[in-house]
Structure 1
Amino acid sequence: MNTQEVADKLIQLCREGKNVEAINELYADHIVSHEPKGSPMEFTEGKDAVLDKTNQWYAMVEEVHSGSVSDPIVTGEFFTCAMDMDVTYKGMGRSMMNEICVYQVKGGKIVSERFHYDIPQAN
Structure 2
Amino acid sequence: MNTQEVADKLVQLCREGKHAEAIDELYADNVVSKEPKGSPMELTEGKEAVKNKTLHWEQSVAEIHSASTSDPLVADNHFSIVMDIDATYKEHGRMPMSEICVYEVKDGKIVADEFFYRMG
With the length of structure 2 as denominator, give the TM-score of the two structures. Answer: 0.98
Q: Answer yes or no: is 1:77 the counterpart of 2:77.
A: yes
Alignment of 1:1-123 (within 5 A): 1-119=1-119, 121=120
Aligned length: 120
The CA distance in 1 between the partners of 2:15 and 2:58, in whole Å, is 16
The CA distance in 1 between the partners of 2:91 and 2:53, in whole Å, is 19
Runs of 4+ residues deviating >6 angstroms: none
With the length of structure 1 as denominator, give the TM-score of the two structures. Answer: 0.96
SS in structure 2 at match of 1:91: coil
What is the root-mean-square deviation in Å for CA atoms of aligned residues?
Answer: 0.6
Structure 1: segments with no counterpart, 5+ residues:
none
Structure 2: segments with no counterpart, 5+ residues:
none
Matched to 1:13, the amino acid is L
The CA distance in 2 between the partners of 1:106 and 1:31, in whole Å, is 10
